[in-house]
Amino acid sequence: MKKVVLFLVLVSLLLTGVAFQASMEPVEREASADNEAVFNVTVFNNYSEERRFTLDYEFSRQSWIYFETSKTIPPGESKDFKVTFSPGEDALEGSYSFKIFVRDFESRETKVVSDVMRVNRDYNLNVQQHSFSSERADPGDTVEASVTVQNILPRIVGDYSITSSFGDETRNSDTEPLAPGSVKTYDFKYDISEEASPETRNLSLEVVQGDERRFYSQLVDINEIVDVRRNESFEDKVITVSGTRTVSNNGNSPQNISENVSFASYLEPVLTLDPEPDNVIEGNENTYVWTTVLQPGESFTASYTVNYWIPLVLALIIIIGIIVLGRLTGNVEVFKETEETAEGLKVSIKVLNNTQNYRPEITVRDFVPNVAEIKEEFDMLEPEIRKTTDGTKMEWTLEDFRPGEERVIQYIVDPKLEVEDGIGLPDPVIVNDGKKDQIE
């Protein structure tokens, strides 16, 4: 059938004397966002020799059209030129007329063919572009979403909505009516809380116009912030040494915390820890370990105190006990010594307060038998003297006798008899608070 038509065209051309003929048929008249409109332009060479033919066009949307610009056709044959239309997503829906000029390159003879292509849209509202900010963000940052829409209908569009959400937060934009071909951009911003925990949130955009719905989304990871701060204070009061350690979690995620202090093991009896440690590593130096989990914003405090005053108090108690014991068991002691001198037999009585007590008054008594006579000339304290049938009694009163103090009493006697080994004198006696103690 095609050969018959071609033969009839050729006969017609020969009869009319036309050098070439051009015609155009639509393959696909309608174009959409995904499909092109396609037309075929057929050129028949009626010349007796090979000729070169070129195409040109007249169309208001130059960026849409594409065609084969030239072909060489043998005599008596025809070839097709393919013309396509790709309007792009921002093209308005409607019909568009165009003309194709077919020209013989040598003679410049031109034929004109015309037709109409149509733009159909799956959506009445075109989304020119959409964008999201970074896929990762820190607490305190701002994430953004943006969408640009265009009315591709030949009428005003106002029945549309634009919604965005981030995590659990949803926002609706105040939309404006769009004239045919007009463009509008809508922006959304979300502030992430400083206390936000590390997690993944969905950032989305939704454009709805009539029954048409388009949805775009992106996952945003909120970063983990590790910010553990430590503070230590120390106080030395000589008899008490204390310290405090505070750990604060200023980040946005739970943190495992471990703190430790070490002290010589012999200090354990005088060491106070608050709270009680979770573990103790013993040795010459004991290490005390606290472990805990701090949530964001929480803090942990451990304190220690070394009470050096405890052993000092114990030592003081021991010293006081010794002193008290000394006071309870100590005595006032008295010693007698004799020495031959030119003046006679010199007698020295030494009195020692061997206690820790102050003695306001101490009385010392001594006795000289009749075998000797006392020279009643006393260089020191003079005693009370009383004569008896057996001899002479003497009594000295010593006042203000302080602990550890020693005093000496001296007197001289003349023996009445010559004794080969010297005369014997009895030991002195001391009277203390009305009680008599004989001291060697």
- pLDDT over 60 (residue 103): yes
- Which one is the CATH code of 332-438: 3.30.1490.20, 3.40.50.11540, 1.20.120.530, 2.60.40.290? 2.60.40.290
Q: Are 143 and 137 in contact (CB under 8 A)?
A: yes
Residues in the chain: 440
Task: Kindly report the three-state secondary structure assignment for every residue of 61-112.
Answer: CHHHEEECCEEEECCCCEEEEEEEECCCCCCCCEEEEEEEEEEECCCCCEEE
Residue 4, SS3 per DSSP: helix
Quote the CA–CA distance of 316 and 310 in Å, as a whole number: 10
Cβ partners under 8 Å of residue 242, min gap 6? 234, 235, 303, 304, 305, 306
- Which residue did the predictor score with more confidence, 114 or 123? 114
**Tens of pLDDT, residues 193-239:** 988 999 999 999 999 988 889 999 999 999 998 989 999 998 887 78
pLDDT band at residue 54 using 50, 70 and 90 as cut-offs: very high
Residues of the chain with CATH 2.60.40.290: 332-438
Burial of 368 (0-12, 13-18, 19+ CB in 10 A): buried
Average pLDDT in the chain: 84
The CATH class that applies to domain 2-119 reads mainly beta
**Tens of pLDDT, residues 29-51:** 999 878 899 999 999 999 999 99
Residue 1, SS3 per DSSP: coil
Give the number of other Cβ atoms within 10 Å of residue 312's Cβ.
13
pLDDT band at residue 91 using 50, 70 and 90 as cut-offs: confident
Number of helical H runs and strand E runs in the chain: 2, 33
Q: Are 432 and 332 in contact (CB under 8 A)?
A: yes
What pTM was estimated for this model as a whole?
0.52
Residue 55's pLDDT is 95
Q: For domain 228-310, which architecture applies?
A: Sandwich (2.60)
Q: How far is CA 310 from the centre of its chain?
A: 39
Residues of the chain with CATH 2.60.40.10: 2-119, 125-222
- pLDDT over 90 (residue 185): yes
**Tens of pLDDT, residues 142-163:** 999 999 998 888 888 888 999 9
Residue 76's pLDDT is 93
Tokens, residue 74: 């043998």
Quote the CA–CA distance of 343 and 410 in Å, as a whole number: 13
Residue 88's pLDDT is 80
CATH of domain 125-222: 2.60.40.10
**Tens of pLDDT, residues 343-377:** 778 888 888 877 777 878 888 888 888 777 887 77
Least confident of 209-218, 309-318, 388-397: 309-318
- For residue 428, which of 403, 398, 405 has the smallest C-alpha distance? 398
105-124: average pLDDT:
90
Strands 136-137 and 212-222: parallel
418-430: average pLDDT:
69
Q: Are 95 and 40 in contact (CB under 8 A)?
A: no
Quote the CA–CA distance of 84 and 150 in Å, as a whole number: 24
